[in-house]
Amino acid sequence: MILRNTRRRPARRTAFAVLGALVLTITLAGCGSSDDGASSQGGDPIAALTAAKKKFDEASSVHFTMATTSKPAKGTDAVLGAKGTLTHQPAFQGEVKALYIGITADIPLIAVDGKVYAKLPFSTGYAVINPKEYSAPDPATFADPAAGISGLLLKLEDAKKTGEKRDGKLVVTTYAGTLPGALVAPIIPSADAAGTYRTVVGIDDDGRIATLAVTGDFFSGGGDVTYDLAFDDYGKNVTISAP
């Protein structure tokens, strides 16, 4: 009896030591997160959005990603995402994720000098395509100051500062409003031109657009779908040329 008790004690002690170490780790981890990155962005949403648009338009290049986790219910074609680099040439180089006959395909794409070159599935080289015929956007126009992404910022209706949100290492200040579908469609072609889309813009500490989330009925009647856009690597020296 006594023997068993003495045998047990060290085990219990180590158990507490292990637990103690873990609690410490968790507390330390918690400490790291407790600074609330209070970035004051000025109260006026219009001023902040205008400044962000200016920075976007002035940057020589921006890297961006676009993605949605939803899919159209029926086997219709849709653009589900994109990632790549935009320049103000205007040009785009990257990949577009498209849904085609119920199957997703990543399509390498270069848009420059008013032409769109795509490496379609099962082909080994780039071919010129007309993106309209593929119900895809011409990503080069994303960089257009008027019709592109930065143009959307000034057209945000009822823009209000809504708070702060974390985007990886960054903490962004969010501004929410709505956009008419006709303005969204050049970026995400499956948008309904007559619809209204709730839009949240995230602006980082440097006053640049970091995130853009557009929510609404993208897949005709399929309910709310959100497309998340993220922007980083502003102002890299990039020149995009035709393949």
Partner 1 sequence: MSQDSTRSRGSSALLALAAVAVAFAAADTYVVVLSLPDMMGSVGLSIDELQRAAPIISGFLLGYVAMLPLIGRIADLRGRLPVLVASLLVFGFGSLVTAAAYDLPSLVTGRFLQGVGGGGLVPVTLALVADIYPVERRGVPLGIVGAVQELGSVLGPLYGAAVLAFGDWRDIFWINLAAGLVLAAGVAALGRGVEPRPRRRFDVVGLTLLALWIAALLVVMRQPERLVTSVRWGGPFVPFGDDGEFFGSIWFSQAGLVTIGLGLGLLAWLLIAPARAFVDLRDWWASVRQADLLGALLLAVLLGGVILAFATADPEVQVFSDAGPVYLGTAALAAVAFAVHQRRAASPLIPRGAFGARPAWGSLLVSFFVGAALIAALVDIPIFARVTVYGDSQIKAALVLVELLVALPIGALIGGYLTRAYPSGLIAAAGMALSSFGFWMMSTWDVDALHHLSSSAVLALTGLGFGLALAPVNAALLATTEPAVHGVTSAMLVVSRMVGMLVGISALTTIGLRRYYAVSGDFPAPSEVCGGPTRCDRYSDLLQHAGIEQLHAIFIGASLAALLAALLAVVLFRGAATRGAPTSPLLGIGG
Residues forming contacts to partner 1 in the complex (CB under 8 A) are 7-8, 11, 14-15, 18-19, 21-22, 25-26, 28-30, 32-37, 71, 74-75, 80, 100-106, 120-125, 127-130, 133-134, 164-169, 171
Please choose, from the candidates 103, 105, 137, the residue with its C-alpha nearest in 3D space to the C-alpha of residue 120.
105
**Residue closer to partner 1, measured from CB, 133 or 158:** 133
Q: From the CB of 212, what's the least distance to partner 1, in Å?
A: 14
**Residue closer to partner 1, measured from CB, 83 or 88:** 83
C-alpha distances in Å from residue 98, one per residue of 2, 78, 158: 71, 6, 32
**Residue closer to partner 1, measured from CB, 108 or 181:** 108
Residues linked to residue 230 through DSSP beta bridges, in sequence order = 65, 211
User: Given the structure tokens 């970035």, which residue do they identify?
Assistant: 39
**Residue closer to partner 1, measured from CB, 75 or 157:** 75
Q: From the CB of 3, what's the least distance to partner 1, in Å?
A: 13
Q: From the CB of 124, what's the least distance to partner 1, in Å?
A: 5
Q: From the CB of 154, what's the least distance to partner 1, in Å?
A: 25
**Residue closer to partner 1, measured from CB, 42 or 75:** 75
Whether the CB-CB separation of 121 and 106 falls below 8 Å is answered with no
- What is the identity of the amino acid at 196? T
Please choose, from the candidates 176, 96, 185, 91, the residue with its C-alpha nearest in 3D space to the C-alpha of residue 147.
185
- What is the identity of the amino acid at 50? T
Q: From the CB of 29, what's the least distance to partner 1, in Å?
A: 4
Tokens of 105: 């395909």
Q: From the CB of 183, what's the least distance to partner 1, in Å?
A: 25
**Residue closer to partner 1, measured from CB, 72 or 151:** 72
Among positive and negative, which fits the CA dihedral 72, 75, 78, 84? positive
Please choose, from the candidates 186, 209, 156, 190, the residue with its C-alpha nearest in 3D space to the C-alpha of residue 68.
190
The length of the chain, given as a count of residues? 243
DSSP H or E stretch at residue 215: strand 209-216
